[in-house]
Structure 1
Amino acid sequence: MRFMMIVKATTDSEAGNLPSPELIEAMQKYNEELVKAGVLLAGDGLQPSSTGIRISYPEPGGKPKVIDGPFTEAKEMIAGYTLIDVQSREEAIEWALRMPDPHGFGQGEIELRQVFEPQDLTDDTELLAKEEALRKQVEEQKKA
């Protein structure tokens, strides 16, 4: 089961304030634990929304609308993520609880969301086979 730990933004992260050296060290230790356990798939911090772009679809069938950041409501923004592959929801919660306060100032908030697997979305064997082929192609491109 894959889960994404979504680190919510704060006013500090949206202002572009970088984490302290102590927090960077704590996160590196945490990531090392994830790697040793064999559950880490990916993880990164994101730049503030002032450097972001939002694409919305305001009308069905209409053209997309492109909006440059910054965006409002820092609590709704994402400052980073960690993607893990674990055996259960409980294991995902345990890993999320072990993550250091992502902002180091008592403002950290982590949202834990399970990732859809292809078979959760369809039982069409042809579509599932195509999805599997695409995933294999991506893995091969990573190796090249």
Structure 2
Amino acid sequence: MRVMVLVKATEDSENESSPPEWMAEMMEAMGRFNDELRDAGILLVADGLKPTSQAKRVAFDGPSRKVIDGPFAETRELVAGFWLWEVKDMEEAIAWVKRCPNPMPGPSEIEIRPVYELADFQ
């Protein structure tokens, strides 16, 4: 099963100032974790996202489209980075997430979402 693993944003990840001291250490730890995921054969894609101040949203309402400039409110609902993994089941995904270094200097969350497969629609 494929899962999207979402690192939720925090005020720290949305901050646009130069990278803080904690980021270098976190990136090194994440690099080691990504190597473990790759060696285990479950890592398909991994990337971090720039702050939403550099993002756009497109709102749809019938045929109309409206572009909304970032930054976006409700930081805890935003995504700072993601992985796409191929795992046996949700329990394996949870076990891997529990091994992940904390992606932020303080409290943070990681969300695991199953990806639809063609079989889900048959």
Query: TM-score, normalised to structure 2's length?
Result: 0.92
- Number of the residue aligned with 1:89: 90
After superposing the two structures, state which structure 1 stretch, 35-44 or 11-20, moved more. 11-20
2:11 is the counterpart of 1:8: no
Listed as ranges, the matches of 1:109-120 within 5 Å are 109-120=109-120
Structure with the higher helix share, 1 or 2: 1
Shift of the alpha carbon at 1:65?
A: 1.1
Q: Percent identity?
A: 48
Runs of 4+ in 1 over 4 A off after TM superposition: none
| Count, aligned residues | 119
SS in 1 for 2:13: helix
Q: Output the amino acid matched with 1:100.
A: P
Q: Output the amino acid matched with 2:57.
A: R
Listed as ranges, the matches of 1:52-131 within 5 Å are 52-57=55-60, 59=61, 61-103=62-104, 105-120=105-120, 122-123=121-122
Query: TM-score, normalised to structure 1's length?
Result: 0.78
User: Within 2, Cα distance between the matches of 1:48 and 1:21?
Assistant: 17
Unpaired runs of 5+ residues, structure 1, are 124-144
Q: Output the amino acid matched with 2:31.
A: Q
SS in 1 for 2:3: strand
Higher RCO by CA contacts (8 Å cutoff, separation 6 or greater) = 2
